[in-house]
Copies of this chain bind each other. A is one copy, B any other.
Amino acid sequence: MTQTKIQLEENEIPKQWYNVVADMPNPPTPPLGPDGNPIGPEALAPLFPMALIEQEVSGERWIDIPEKVREMYAIWRPTPMFRAHRLEQALGTPAKIYYKYEGVSPAGSHKPNTALPQAYYNAEAGIKRLSSETGAGQWGSALSLVGKWFGLDVVIYMVKVSYDQKPFRRSMMHTWGAEVFSSPTDQTEAGRTILEKDPESLGSLGIAISEAVEVAAANKDTNYSLGSVLNHVLLHQTIIGLEAKKQFEKVGDYPDMIFAPCGGGSNFAGVAFPFFADKAAGKKIQLVAVEPTSCPTLTKGTYAYDFGDAIGLTPLMKMYTLGHDFMPPGIHAGGLRYHGDSALVSQLYHEGLIEAIAVPQIATFEAGVQFAQTEGIIPAPEANHAIRACIDEALRCKESGEPKTLFFNLSGHGHFDMAAYDSFFSGELEDFEYPEEDIQASLRNLPRVG
């Protein structure tokens, strides 16, 4: 019988996360405060527990996963890796295609990989409540899922337009016991300020972040939790790539190229960083971040210090950015609509150690449908970006005759994104031109540093 699924046993769940900082040729750039000077760990203390702050600044290569976290990872981990036999056949490619499927988590994406340890460390620190924001709802779902397991209340500020248009992600969060508010609310200074100016405001991720941070800063028993971008979030996600390496070992194979969607960077880092360790040790492997042409942070942005949020409340991080007030078009891959990128991913890209490409929306859905019809799983729109890039490479292999081993992260299922597939089938989906002028305008507003 041809092997389709490469599984690991529960006791093969990695015991440590991998910290890419240890293998980077240069130390990571520091975040800067409003005064332009590097901020210390203490600046983060009102929002995060010390254990996470230590991870955020750690240079250690390996960081132990607490036994309790490993035990609870087992609810959905190890996740399966698949050989895409039927997709390969449909493409007629000599390439071998593998994918790791993170949609088996109860929340349906890779996001719980970091929500779980974040909840654990906060509960250990005596915190009673976590606040966060969510746009399309994947991160909010992940945090809501894990809260109850550690006796934590979870409060989610969901961007109003999504709250109204994506009721089922909201229902999921309710089912797991979270409080979900349509942001802007009148509970916070930030929300009230916005509502005063525009009572009909549809909200934005920037506003929702402000509300969640304000609530965490103002309440001693409440901390804030972030779903991407930060070093500790990327660290937790490396469990994906660490498992994948064991799975490749099991079948005696190794990828030539890895593809992952890239928004804030934790999806890409999660699968690619553990392989970067091999690359740093001299192994030949290409690590490719895939982003939408409508929000081409790495491929068209500038490497500069910028704010992480739209309003300018966060510390400044050195990253590829389209400018913090760049507003990407309303594509369906909500998780990839971010003006910036993780500092670690940005630095590795700047140093030429990883690659990036941008793909247009309609082509990503074409790839997603081809994948669904051959492999079965209906992918999330974010994951369709990696699939598109991987299929394109497999087709190049068909031309050249190269039997490359390709690997991508199928970071989530599309069960809550079927309206996007409907738009695709009805021909309503649009490709957005690279909005050069908008980006240039937005880049003119970059903060001046040093």
List chain A positions with a Cβ less than 8 A from chain B.
1-5, 7, 9-11, 67, 70-71, 74-76, 82, 86, 104-106, 108, 145, 148-149, 167-168, 171-172, 174-177, 369, 372-378, 415-416, 418-419, 421-422, 425
The contact of A376 among B106, B168, B416, by CB within 8 Å, is: B106
Q: Is the CB of B419 within 8 A of A416?
A: no
Copies in the complex: 2
Supposing A1-B71, A418-B168 touch, asked if A9 and B7 sit within 8 A by C-beta, the answer is yes
Given A175-B378, A421-B174, A422-B171, CB of A5 within 8 Å of CB of B415: no
A373/B176 in contact, CB under 8 A: yes
A90: nearest chain-B partner, CB-CB = B148
Q: With both chains docked as a complex, state the minimum distance between the C-beta of A399 and any C-beta of chain B, in angstroms.
A: 26
A-B contact pairs, 23 of them (CB 8 A): A1-B10, A1-B67, A1-B74, A2-B71, A4-B75, A5-B74, A7-B7, A7-B9, A75-B376, A76-B376, A104-B104, A106-B377, A106-B378, A145-B376, A167-B422, A168-B418, A171-B419, A174-B422, A174-B425, A175-B378, A175-B421, A176-B378, A415-B416
In the assembled complex, the Cα of A332 lies from the Cα of B200 at a distance in Å of: 35
| Chain B residues, CB < 8 A from A104 | 104
Contact A171 B418 (CB under 8 A): yes
Name the residue on B nearest A85 (C-beta): B71
Set B3, B373, B375: member contacting A10, Cβ < 8 A: B3
Q: Give the nearest-CB partner of A107 in chain B.
A: B376
Question: Which of A145, A373, A421 has the largest count of B CB atoms less than 10 A from its CB?
Answer: A373
